Structure 1
Amino acid sequence: MTRYIFITGGVVSSLGKGLASAALGALLQARGFKVRLRKLDPYLNVDPGTMSPYQHGEVYVTDDGAETDLDLGHYERFTAVAARRSDNVTTGRIYSTVIQRERRGDYLGATVQVIPHVTDAIKEFIRADITDEDFVLCEIGGTVGDIESTPFLEAIRQFGNEVGHDNALFIHLTLLPYIPSAGELKTKPTQHSVKELLSVGIQPTILLCRADRQIPESERRKIGLFCNIRQERVIAALDVDTIYQVPISYHEQGFDVQVLSYFGLPHEGEPDLSRWRKIVHTLRQPEGEVTIAVVGKYTSLLDSYKSLAEALVHGGIANNVRVKLDWIDAEIFESDDAVQHLEHVHGILVPGGFGERGSEGKIRAVQFAREHKVPYFGICFGMQMAVIEAARHMADIPNAGSTEFGREVVPVVGLMTEWQRGNQTEMRTGADDLGGTMRLGAYPCRLVEGSKIREIYDADLISERHRHRYEVNINFRGQLEAAGLLFSGLAPDGTLPEIVELPGHPWFVGVQFHPELKSKPLTPHPLFTNFIRAAIEQSRLV
């Protein structure tokens, strides 16, 4: 029997509902249960694919090609359960579904309303694509009290009644701010947040209280009294020095015990958290440190590169070193000498991005890495910039560029108009909608025998996730390879370049896909593991 856990948030945003959900999922797994995590987002966009990284952070892409909320990345990293399109829904998608049904006449002339039609569609999503999971954890985006969240809260209230008290649990994450002048944690915001939740008919069973210090028993008792919750179910969500400590910290606070106790499930004994403890030990007591420069265009909001930052940490864990990230705005290099910003680093990474802004700075960073023999890792746009740099400075194509920047360039990189997904041909034009029209999701790539990338993966055929609409032009392969750049990974039909590398360089790899999306702390991605290993070697030379 599947049991449902709903996680809501109150007082303020950015309290960490996604991490709380992911950590609880990991704890339940450690006790032998099968879990599934999903996110209900209240914004009107159909998905986050067209949203600015400055507003929403990164877009996480699933194997089946969905552009989703970044919290799904947390879910995958903590539980290793591959997210799917059915694990993230927005108000936009819900309303689109309801309106399509109305246009088809599916409602048989009924007046279409939020209740029951919108709430029914939300409940359908919660139930969809569930097989034999023991627990389904549903995070509700936004903050209780926001008008946008109201239909979702009403839907989960109804859902809880329909599946019954024994099969639905409501967890509410709030903030306990510490007021220095008063010298105490304040419980009133939590009380008001629970009251707001009660006003829509939901009584939380467990409270997760974010705090920067231990919560005194007297305060926990007070919260339980005013919020109609057992004192032992007021759980401290304490600040920690690494997110991978969160499952351990929650267990120490009795979170998993209270969840299982509520459902009447066995909760004696200890979950196996040995692998998480080992990760935390490595992060706290590494054998060394390397510095990686991340040359991007969204560096003022680091959530734009959330999966990337975590994948680099995973590479450090695999090599038992701390990875220090030096976030550098690519535009700096368009006016300054790259040397003064990069001469101290042990590796350079240029991540994905869209648009011309910062592109010339990224190309200069690539040139620095190539000429100074610094390990270089280009991802998506970073691969394209590496190819353009090689075309300009190695293959004597001075006007090499991307059609994304305009038409007055030699199109070494151009807009994709056709590609294969399985047995189907997908086609796009520049006039198509921006949302959902890129090459999205997992695609296979065949690796060239004898290449560095073949050695790293130790496989002939790999599968990685994509999110891009521009591609390196295969027609320039001969000219670029003659100049020294190796096309070491290609789509199985040989038409789409997936990976380039520079033989003779200590470590120079560009990939069209996003390997960071498949990296996990317990199973670091081989590309990041190998890149950090090369950075360690570089640190011995600096």
Structure 2
Amino acid sequence: MARYIFITGGVVSSLGKGLASAALGALLQARGYTVRLRKLDPYLNVDPGTMSPFEHGEVFVTDDGAETDLDLGHYERFTGVSARMTDSISSGRIYSNVLENERRGDYLGKTIQVIPHVTNEIKDFLRIGEDEVDFMLCEIGGTVGDIEGLPFFEAIRQFIHERPRGECILMHLTLLPYLAASGELKTKPTQHSVKELQSIGLKPDVLVCRSEHPIPEREREKIALFCNVRPDAVIPAYDLKSIYGAPLAYHEAGLDTAVLNAFGIDPAPRPKLERWMDVMDRLTHAEGEVRVAVVGKYTQLEDAYKSIAEALTHGGMANRVRVKAEWIDSALFEKEDPAAYLESYDAILVPGGFGERGTEGKIKAAKFAREKGVPYLGICLGMQMAVIESARHMAGIEGAGSEEFDHEAGEKRFIPVVYHLKEWVQGNHKVRRKADDDKGGTMRLGAYTATLTEGSKVAQIYGGTVIEERHRHRYEVDTRYREELEKSGLVFSGMSPDGKLPEIVEVKDHPWFIGVQFHPELKSKPFAPHPLFADFIRAAMANGRLV
């Protein structure tokens, strides 16, 4: 039976609950325990799949096809435990389930209320898989006091009281603001945040206090006294140069010890932190730097490409170099020559996206990389734009475009070499979609197998010919143009097992030019960099003459 750790936040949002949860999970693993991490989001969207990246950052996709919060990416990168559909829930999904139950008559005519029906649904979610791990870490999105979060806090209160004593603890993150005028840290916001928690029946066992300045022992004792926690359970959390320093920093601050003490686990197994020491050694002792241009649509918000940023860092760690990723809005190239922007970079990456804005700029970036011999990695839409570029400029299909944009190619006839995917095989059954279906959850989502061509560059990179990667898209490259494209030099080196859906393309006689329909960044970890990113950075090093 799992022990539960509930992670909440107060004072302000964006304190780093997801990172703290992930780091704690890694520390518990280092002591030999098994963990699973979950995210409970109070927003009314069923999932973040239809949210704009500017609203919510990237959508992290699990193997089983769930569109989830980007914090699940942190969980996977720090623990190596693959997230599941059952590791993410929102108020929208909870209410949707309750209303579906009511329509079926499952409540036998009772009046449906937040208590007990909504809170029971949340508690049922918390119990899923509780016999599989030693610790279940459950992060609640938002801050305490948010009106939409109240059903979750009430469900947790009930859940804690229904479990045997000592099986659940609560970890609360707060902010200690620094007032320069008086030269002191202020503890009052933390006190009020804890008071808010206590008013709804929850008492924190561990307090994690974010601060830009060292927290004096006197202030820690004051926080412990007024917030009714042990002084050694007041854990400082300072800004770090790298998020991958969090496990070691939190261990040094005593977080894992405080958590285990709260459960009465004493003495606890000694932690084995060699993995994280090696990660930090690779980060802090880099032997050079490569510059990668990320040409995308959502460059104003780096969280929109969070997993890509981290996967590039992992690729650098694999090669002991520092990767400097610079974000360039592809719309810049709609009217300007990309050469002026791109010629100083060692490699170019074009990520995924939706909609027409900036796509011609991505096509120009792919053309520049192909013609100049610059290493190029196209992901999802980035692959499709590379195919359109090759169709236009290598195969002579002048009107090549995508059905997603449905635009005319100047005065030329529009030829969709990328089309709306209407049917594909998932497991043992066929999935069918129409262009006018609901947007949420209707894409090709989750892990699918691909077969690689013997002797291809990607087969060499992966070290085999069968791979499994995660997808999130509703448009595909049309194989009707495969013969023309391959004759011109664009090789289809990865296909779905039935041979119908292109998964990977690469340009012959190019140092490194690969487009993938899937999202390899979602499976990369600091201690296990994805092979595509590791080799992409190796190629960038070669282009920059670092090898």
TM-score (norm 1): 0.99
Distance 2:62 2:46 in 1: 16
* Offset from partner CA, 1:40-88 (integer Å, 9 cap, x none): 0000000000000000000000000000010000000000001000000
Q: 1:471 aligns with which of 476, 481, 484?
A: 476
Distance 1:223 1:354 in 2: 47
- Amino acid in the other structure paired with 2:224: G
Distance 1:124 1:269 in 2: 31
| Other-structure match for 2:419 | 414
Cα displacement (A) at 1:541: 8.3
Distance 1:290 1:244 in 2: 20
| Other-structure match for 2:384 | 384
Distance 2:91 2:189 in 1: 27
Does the alignment pair 1:99 with 2:99?
A: yes
Distance 2:505 2:269 in 1: 50
| Other-structure match for 2:77 | 77
Does the alignment pair 1:456 with 2:481?
A: no
Cα displacement (A) at 1:131: 3.0
Distance 2:19 2:316 in 1: 21
Distance 1:129 1:234 in 2: 30
Residue 429 of structure 1 aligns to a residue whose secondary structure is: coil
- Amino acid in the other structure paired with 1:343: E
Aligned length: 542
Does the alignment pair 1:67 with 2:67?
A: yes
Do 1:257 and 1:267's aligned partners in 2 also have CA atoms closer than 8 Å? no
Distance 1:65 1:510 in 2: 22
| Other-structure match for 2:225 | 225
Q: 1:223 to 1:108 in 2, by over 3 A?
A: same
Do 2:288 and 2:546's aligned partners in 1 also have CA atoms closer than 8 Å? no
Distance 2:320 2:58 in 1: 27
- Amino acid in the other structure paired with 2:126: I
- Amino acid in the other structure paired with 2:541: I
Structure 2: segments with no counterpart, 5+ residues = 409-413
Residue 166 of structure 2 aligns to a residue whose secondary structure is: helix
| Other-structure match for 2:515 | 510
Cα displacement (A) at 1:130: 3.0
Range 336-345 or range 374-383, more displaced: 336-345
Distance 2:496 2:247 in 1: 39
Do 1:366 and 1:386's aligned partners in 2 also have CA atoms closer than 8 Å? yes
Percent identical among aligned pairs is 65
Distance 2:329 2:207 in 1: 40
* Offset from partner CA, 1:215-250 (integer Å, 9 cap, x none): 100000110111111111100011111001001011
| Other-structure match for 1:355 | 355
| Other-structure match for 2:147 | 147
Do 1:352 and 1:381's aligned partners in 2 also have CA atoms closer than 8 Å? yes
Q: Which 4+ runs in 1 deviate beyond 4 A?
A: none
Distance 1:265 1:29 in 2: 15
Residue 145 of structure 2 aligns to a residue whose secondary structure is: coil
Distance 1:391 1:109 in 2: 61
Structure 1: segments with no counterpart, 5+ residues = none
Range 287-296 or range 129-138, more displaced: 129-138
Map residues 109-128 of structure 1 onto 2, 5 A cutoff.
Answer: 109-128=109-128
| Other-structure match for 1:129 | 129
Range 332-341 or range 512-521, more displaced: 332-341
| Other-structure match for 1:428 | 433
Does the alignment pair 1:501 with 2:525?
A: no
| Other-structure match for 2:33 | 33
Residue 26 of structure 1 aligns to a residue whose secondary structure is: helix
TM-score (norm 2): 0.98
Residue 405 of structure 1 aligns to a residue whose secondary structure is: coil
- Amino acid in the other structure paired with 1:498: E
Distance 1:225 1:333 in 2: 58
Cα displacement (A) at 1:282: 1.7
Map residues 18-57 of structure 1 onto 2, 5 A cutoff.
Answer: 18-57=18-57
* Offset from partner CA, 1:196-222 (integer Å, 9 cap, x none): 111110010100000112210000011
Distance 1:457 1:437 in 2: 29
- Amino acid in the other structure paired with 2:437: D
Distance 2:108 2:407 in 1: 52
Do 2:32 and 2:269's aligned partners in 1 also have CA atoms closer than 8 Å? no
Range 157-166 or range 52-61, more displaced: 157-166
Distance 2:132 2:147 in 1: 34
Map residues 246-257 of structure 1 onto 2, 5 A cutoff.
Answer: 246-257=246-257
Do 2:31 and 2:269's aligned partners in 1 also have CA atoms closer than 8 Å? no
Cα displacement (A) at 1:129: 2.8
Distance 2:294 2:251 in 1: 35
Range 57-66 or range 398-407, more displaced: 398-407
| Other-structure match for 2:156 | 156
Residue 107 of structure 1 aligns to a residue whose secondary structure is: coil
